[in-house]
Structure 1
Amino acid sequence: MSLKQQASQGAEVNEKLAALMTNSNAVRAIASAVEGTLGPKGLDTMLVDKFGEVVITNDGVTILTMMEANHPAARMVINIAKAQQEEIGDGTTTATVMAGALVGAGVEQVAKGVPVARVIEGIRTGVRRALEAIKEKTLPMEDLRHSWVHQVALVAGREHQDIADLVVESARLIGRNKLLDPNFKLADTVVSEEGASNQVFMGVILNKETINKQMPRNLDDVKILVIDDALEPEEIEDEALSTEAGFARYLELQSEFRANVQRIINLGVGLVLVDRGVDDIAEEMLTDAGIMVVQRVLAKELRRAAEHTGARIIKRTGLKKESMELEKYLGKANRVLEDEKLEQVWILNGYGKPMATVLVGAATEEVVGERERIAKDAASSVQASIKGGVVPGGGSVELAVAREVEKIRENTRGMAAYGVDCVAEALKRPLAQIVSNAGFNPLEKIGDVLAAQVEQNNSSLAVDCDTGEIADMLELGVLDPALVKIHALKAAGEIAEAILRIDTIIKMRDYKQAAGDNHEQ
């Protein structure tokens, strides 16, 4: 091969490696943005927008979704974190930190000359073994009365005792069967209000007021109608109104609508919830009858209210049904009240499915927002623990799993073993970062913990962040949901493989410009 050919080949390799390095640096930057929040000694991040609005948070997914990130690889990591949040509700910081470590280790191996395909093969092998090891070390947690439930809430709730108490009480009110429902998210029961008092109650909150002040503020033993529609007469086109037949039809629809509203009144309904707007005629009739009406209720809140009260959601055309048939659509609650200060309507002790609400309060808007995020994390972790069990926290289980991954290296063929090494290194990263955030030397502490885990044959050993001593995380009550760890590792593996496969970055043409050029031709 001539010198010119060698130079050309070298330039091509360097160009492909440059793409990898660029992507790796972007992923590392994203991981750096959140890694300082990890662990009990993690610090907060302040996010400031162009108008000077401030968000102070320790929540990984909030930081990732609100920060400015233009690099495509960075956005890939953020999307993975969003998926983790949507699926589990917690663990986004762990997933991001491990993804950054895994990508960084993978790029280092490629830079040393290991083929990308072999690195990816090894990463897949290592991740597969790591997932198996996590499942082997998972401890079931089926009883909501178990003390571990509170510990999970406390760890995920960043040691806020009051929030952990609220979340656990809510979970116990709702019950295990509901927590296992794939369509139910305990985090959705958490609401926050500036100036409110912390409390848990059996019921739901609607973040709306009644449509006028003449309606009652407090009702007992209430029948409830839920309308997933507008409470208005059926519309007729303007052109049709200009004809005699069209105007007659308009009068007929108005009369029919009044009859439908009167039917609601005759049924003894006390609260009407409406997805969209309410016609003036309906508002006047229902107000005169002493009925509370809430319009433009969010779809999520509407569904929760229907489920809790046992109401069947109905469209406005369904109001034509006979009274006996319409009665079957009504829900019921022991009490409905309006909190004018908080601008909310509370539906308490519905006759349908159990539905607890966690109300979190604080003095200022910034603080109440963060407390809500903390409570949602705690609620998600409690539900995930009931679904999939728990593992020792504090980075202990990842370190123990890293040892299991290292054992399969010697049986891994060829250069794929270097990819297995990447997984082992990434699994050590959470403990290293937790220890670093607590003010200790991560290299020293990882070595101490590894030696202690082997010597005592105990995979739940890690570092007490208060003292720096080796401690048993199970004994300290430092527990994490197994599903959080499993999904975080899967997410890290997926993003690492996707990033490592990219060896060329090409800027696309503008689709509109391209379409215009083709049209001109």
Structure 2
Amino acid sequence: MNALKQNSDAVNMVAAAVESTLGPKGLDTMLVGEHDEVLVTNDGVTILDKMEMHHPAARMISHVAKAQQQEMGDGTTTSTILAAAIVDEGVKQAMRGVPIIKVIEGVRRGVRFALNKMKEKAQPIYSLDDDWLQRIAFTASRENEDITLSVIEAVHLLGREKLLESGFKLSDTVLAHPQTESNVVAGLLIDRSELSAHVPTLGDEIRVLTLADNLEPEYIEELAKGTDAGFAKQEQLKEEFYVALEHLIHLQVGLIVTSGHVDPHAEEVLMDAGMMIIQRVNANDLKKLSEHTGSRLMKKSGLFKPLEELEKTLGQCQEVEDVDFLNRVRVSGGAGKPFATILVGAATTDTVQERERICKDAASAVQAAIRGGYVPGGGAVELSLARELEQFREKVQGSERFGVSAVVEALQRPMSQIIINAGFNVLEKVENVKTMQVKKQSSSLGIDCDRGVVADMVEMGVVDPLLVKYHALRAAGEVSCAILRIHNVVSMKKEANK
């Protein structure tokens, strides 16, 4: 029981660090480093990432919040508050004598029920012109109009099919820079640090080669080179490589991008032929370029294929531009999948990271809404789920119903915290909302944080992507059950030095 209480205290400490940031009236948290460096932010995952944690249960909550951020790009504070509340209520039930294993099973049943009901409450988004997308972007971007417009423009450039593509994250297209205005660039921006030399802008149906390898001849072992046969073999390999270079020139390749380095002789020959060469590009950018241009990502051995087969591996784009001040090369008008880059401007270098984070949040929220629709925000949907879960609890037999009660209490926490942060009486306001939700049979009623009155969140434009809320509750349920199952905490012995 001591372990349970200690775990609960540790988890509540983590929640206390982020709960004051929740909602439109949320405040900032100041993080102070060991050398008195200061970071002020209201971003939950940043707070959890930077704050000092020693207790293992606290670190478990932090890891789940980070996973939520990586998966959905938002909802970390909500998932943390929900998890802490479930653990806190679960421990209280256990202290009253309810078997912890029954509490855990009840929590699981309660979370499953709430997740299913949450899906039923979601409103789908069928069109990229839906006004809700702009509203969601505006809210997630902390009401930064330039970021909102850029995210929506990128959404239209990419199209619904790309946004629904498994593994694609709109937030990965965000790039912040203090020397630019916020806008959207059609195509890809590739790091140009290893650009062989400055080449004028290329245009008009440029052929593209993407090579996941070094662009150099095959080399035999050093010992073999000392023999006549070895020397002859090496010269043959060089000759074959030079023929491959001639093939690239004959095919009028305009852009070569490699993951490795480029042989100096090859670099000179190809640049003399007017090609732009970028080497040592990371695997992710190389894959994106392959998809955008329709080129076939290949190894060095592919260079020695017959001319007709080599031609089939080439991609195509409309423009390649060296954007010097960004240290990037822009590739646009690809023959393959559409891509776009969201450039976020910042007044100073100090604000670049914060602006980039805000834009990534907005991009993640919009993409999540396109994929799963939206639900009422402001804690309204959670409070309505708590009300329905109370009715479900009456049908649960035995001690598991106490675990369901823990989820009921937890689902009321988001709205309660939003009301606290807005400076109103939490007990009075939550009861007012509960009464009105029942009276009007509505799951979208919450509190207007400016006036302190019950209002329809959807009519106010306060909505959240379903997937963000769904993943936050699911993650909170999983980690809280894992923490509640911990009976003892034992220190591992130190390993002997080897």
Q: TM-score, normalised by structure 1?
A: 0.91
The correspondence for 1:443, drawn from 403, 427, 431, is: 427
Match of 2:91?
107
CA distance, structure 1, for counterparts of residue 30 and residue 196 of structure 2: 40
Instruction: Within 5 Å, give how 1:301-312 maps onto structure 2.
Output: 301-312=285-296
Match of 1:3?
none
Shift of 1:124: 1.6
Corresponding residue SS for 2:122: coil
Counterpart amino acid of 1:274?
T
Shift of 1:53: 6.1
Matched, 1:61 2:54: no
CA distance, structure 1, for counterparts of residue 21 and residue 483 of structure 2: 24
Change (3 A) 1:310 1:52: farther
CA distance, structure 1, for counterparts of residue 350 and residue 10 of structure 2: 29
Matched, 1:358 2:348: no
Q: Is the contact made by 1:56 and 1:370 (CA closer than 8 Å) also made in structure 2?
A: no
Match of 1:466?
450
Match of 2:331?
347
Q: How many residues align?
A: 498
Shift of 1:244: 2.6
Shift of 1:48: 5.1
Match of 2:124?
140
Q: Is the contact made by 1:180 and 1:387 (CA closer than 8 Å) also made in structure 2?
A: yes
Shift of 1:257: 2.0
Instruction: Within 5 Å, give how 1:144-155 maps onto structure 2.
Output: 144-155=128-139
Question: 1:290-321 deviations in whole A, cap 9, x for unaligned?
Answer: 21111111211111111111111111111111
CA distance, structure 1, for counterparts of residue 38 and residue 151 of structure 2: 27
Q: Is the contact made by 1:35 and 1:97 (CA closer than 8 Å) also made in structure 2?
A: yes
CA distance, structure 2, for counterparts of residue 47 and residue 318 of structure 1: 53
Counterpart amino acid of 2:138?
L
Corresponding residue SS for 1:21: helix
The correspondence for 2:437, drawn from 430, 453, 457, is: 453
Corresponding residue SS for 1:192: strand
Matched, 1:171 2:171: no
Counterpart amino acid of 2:55?
H
Corresponding residue SS for 1:148: helix
The correspondence for 2:318, drawn from 324, 334, 340, is: 334
Match of 1:229?
213
Q: Is the contact made by 2:212 and 2:298 (CA closer than 8 Å) also made in structure 1?
A: yes
Corresponding residue SS for 1:341: helix
CA distance, structure 1, for counterparts of residue 31 and residue 295 of structure 2: 42
Q: Is the contact made by 1:106 and 1:500 (CA closer than 8 Å) also made in structure 2?
A: yes
Question: 1:434-453 deviations in whole A, cap 9, x for unaligned?
Answer: 22222223222211211121
Change (3 A) 1:247 1:42: farther
CA distance, structure 1, for counterparts of residue 289 and residue 343 of structure 2: 16
Q: Is the contact made by 1:88 and 1:384 (CA closer than 8 Å) also made in structure 2?
A: yes
RMSD, aligned CA:
1.9
Question: 1:119-165 deviations in whole A, cap 9, x for unaligned?
Answer: 11221221122112211211111211111111121222222222121
CA distance, structure 1, for counterparts of residue 144 and residue 373 of structure 2: 22
Matched, 1:314 2:294: no
Q: Is the contact made by 1:218 and 1:338 (CA closer than 8 Å) also made in structure 2?
A: no
Q: Is the contact made by 2:194 and 2:280 (CA closer than 8 Å) also made in structure 1?
A: no
Matched, 1:38 2:25: no
CA distance, structure 2, for counterparts of residue 87 and residue 212 of structure 1: 37
Matched, 1:291 2:275: yes
Match of 1:259?
243
Change (3 A) 1:53 1:237: farther
Worse-matched range after superposition: 129-138 or 218-227: 218-227
Q: Is the contact made by 1:56 and 1:366 (CA closer than 8 Å) also made in structure 2?
A: no
Corresponding residue SS for 1:205: strand
Shift of 1:205: 0.7
Question: 1:21-65 deviations in whole A, cap 9, x for unaligned?
Answer: 111122112222222221122233344555666654333223323
Q: Is the contact made by 1:169 and 1:200 (CA closer than 8 Å) also made in structure 2?
A: yes
CA distance, structure 1, for counterparts of residue 216 and residue 38 of structure 2: 42
Q: Is the contact made by 2:294 and 2:335 (CA closer than 8 Å) also made in structure 1?
A: yes
Shift of 1:501: 0.7
CA distance, structure 2, for counterparts of residue 441 and residue 212 of structure 1: 64
The correspondence for 1:120, drawn from 100, 104, 122, is: 104
Corresponding residue SS for 1:359: strand
Change (3 A) 1:380 1:419: same
Shift of 1:210: 5.3
Corresponding residue SS for 2:277: strand
Q: TM-score, normalised by structure 2?
A: 0.95
Counterpart amino acid of 2:441?
N
Corresponding residue SS for 2:112: helix
Change (3 A) 1:263 1:44: farther
The correspondence for 2:58, drawn from 69, 74, 78, is: 74
CA distance, structure 2, for counterparts of residue 137 and residue 267 of structure 1: 56
